[in-house]
Structure 1
């Protein structure tokens, strides 16, 4: 059915109408509402709200969320392995099942404007496929409201516990969309074997790769260079993502620029969660053609008390941790959180070409949209108001923070 959005402001520009049909934008400009209504088209009153591409959360752990449950004290201790052990100790004792928690959180994300998701699902010798299957179940519940790609993620590494690689491959056989990896040096302490397994499975099942890389400084540079070498050798340009990439916030200027240029040349993307202390060089990345997306990571889970299912809030965090004040840079954060993330999920999708680029709302673009309140995009990011309407494949799936 045709859907007409009236009195909307694309990227906070002039008010206009936007017509959707067949899951895409078919017209931008004054619409013949009388004829459209008589033909059975739906009409959404934009009320002068800002029209944006919907949010794309490209780094979220739906299998660890505790959103919707009572708040609990943080019990983790520093370090990836220690945090993982704390999660392993506690996740089975939650007040609701993983499937219930993942389904609730995914619904809350959709309510707030996210219709494109890339979620991790932990697979290891402790959890087996239980957490992976829970994320698949959440995806199925919301299959008509959002597109969800699932990463089979070896949170405990691939080498420290016998059988880890086998569990990962079982998840791939069951339909995982992406092969995950984590800290080849810092966690598994054997980057060659770790990356051989991850990239080998990716080649075997014709899947992309997403490597969690918390490793700092020169260690992170070393692992990234190994990832780039494999990307080039295996012809996997456009199919590899480095998540977190903390080292990009710590490298000397000459090393940083050289690495970013290499990533751009090999079309290796980056996913960030806007952590305090490790701001990504967003401007350098986009200028080099590197696709960058944003995600919420774990949400009020056994790793961290942060996260609230709201990508508009995480957009604020991205701007804040980068110390942005200029409207153009804050709007760029919104572009990263929407179109930037969509291009990380799908390398053939439209991508950002500059800090000033504001794509995603032209004729022919996917009808993945969100209406938000605010005088400008920057004001919407600052205020994070609840008056939102969410559109997936050309139909309204949430309104006023409630699922339709």
Structure 2
């Protein structure tokens, strides 16, 4: 998987490692070993993730603590309502562990509608109360779809104020509604696209290519002019594009880190629209050459 990502131009991976009483920390040790082999070409966040729920087993909180003591760099959370069925308790334990280790939290919220919205709103209350600004990511966040005007006006300023990141896999299907990405961006809220799965039980279609994900998003939302396509690249480049909204160069500049993806394209808009096959990654001055 790492080699696939590197060959496609990815030089930062956020990986979720399942931690539970049956596996313990075995997955974490394996992921650390794999990432160590490629540390010359990428950086990574390792998330200690309670895939089967935080409250499913009494050992889970301490297992997550052990994972954070053993190389995990972030804490995960999963549907305090739909999975743990105790929103306040699940969120409070998550906050307690995150503050204990001073790590960021990546929260996977699949619960739709009012349940998902309430969960995010409740977490933001805790962020305010416990001064946890700038350390939260909401992945999937289906509770942000189809918000009423009142709910929108309540939560969007809070997402911006507390520097919450929104991360999405662009689930394009009749059963899943796309997040209001452009509205989030206009509200100065960070949005990023990623791949939550890789030829696995979640989906047989995920290739692991974020450029392909981006192209699907642009196609689905009807982006067809040069400006819209090149600005969409920010969704997979940590919010940085070669040109700003006014067409002025903002990257690269002298002194920037020498991390690039080289490809044969006449402009960045072509990259978004055409999914270039051949890409060459340079990470901090080091070329990655696939085998």
Which TM-score applies when normalising by structure 2?
0.91
Helix, strand or coil at the partner of 2:219: helix
Q: Which residue of 1 aligns with 2:284?
A: 393
- Which runs of 4 or more aligned residues in structure 1 lie more than 6 Å from their structure 2 counterparts after TM superposition? 352-358
In structure 2, relative to structure 1, the CA distance for the partners of 1:239 and 1:327 (3 Å cut) is same
Q: Distance in 2 between matches of 1:360 and 1:164?
A: 44
2:8 alignment partner in structure 1: 112
Provide the rounded CA distance (Å) in 2 between the counterparts of 1:310 and 1:359.
Answer: 25
| 1:202 correspondence with 2:98 | yes
Task: Point out which structure has higher relative CO (alpha carbons under 8 A, 6+ apart).
Answer: 1
Report the alpha carbon displacement of residue 354 of structure 1 after superposing the two structures with TM: 6.4
Paired with 1:233 and 1:162, the residues of 2 have a C-alpha distance of 26
RMSD: 2.2
Cα offsets for 1:331-355 (capped at 9, x unmatched) = 2221110123x8xxxxxxx9x9969
What corresponds to 2:186 in structure 1?
Answer: 287
In the alignment, what sits opposite 2:157? Answer: 261
Aligned partner (choices 135, 154, 166) of residue 239 of structure 1: 135
Spell out, residue by residue over 1:124-179, the C-alpha distance to the aligned partner (whole angstroms, 9 max, x if none): 12322122222111111111110011000001111122322222111111021101
Which of 213, 219, 223 lines up with 1:314 in the alignment?
A: 213
Alignment of 1:13-28 (within 5 A): none
- The aligned residue for residue 335 of structure 1 is 234
- 1:158 is aligned, of 40, 54, 75, to 54
Distance 1:124 1:356, change over 3 A: farther
Q: Tell me whether 329-338 or 232-241 shows the greater mean CA deviation.
A: 329-338
Match of 1:366 in 2: 257
More strand by share: 1
Matches for 1:2-401 after TM superposition, within 5 Å: 105-276=1-172, 277-340=176-239, 359-398=250-289
Does structure 1 retain, via aligned residues, the 8 Å contact 2:13–2:42?
Answer: yes
Bigger Rg, structure 1 or 2: 1
Could you tell me how far apart the structure 2 residues matched to 1:221 and 1:354 are? 31
Aligned CA distance change for structure 1 residues 382 and 218 (closer, same or farther; 3 Å): same
| Alignment length (residue pairs) | 287
TM-score normalised according to structure 1 size:
0.67
- In structure 2, how many angstroms separate the alpha carbons of the residues matched to 1:356 and 1:158? 46
Structure 2 gaps, min length 5: none
Please report how far the alpha carbon of residue 267 of structure 1 lies from its aligned counterpart in structure 2 after TM superposition.
0.7
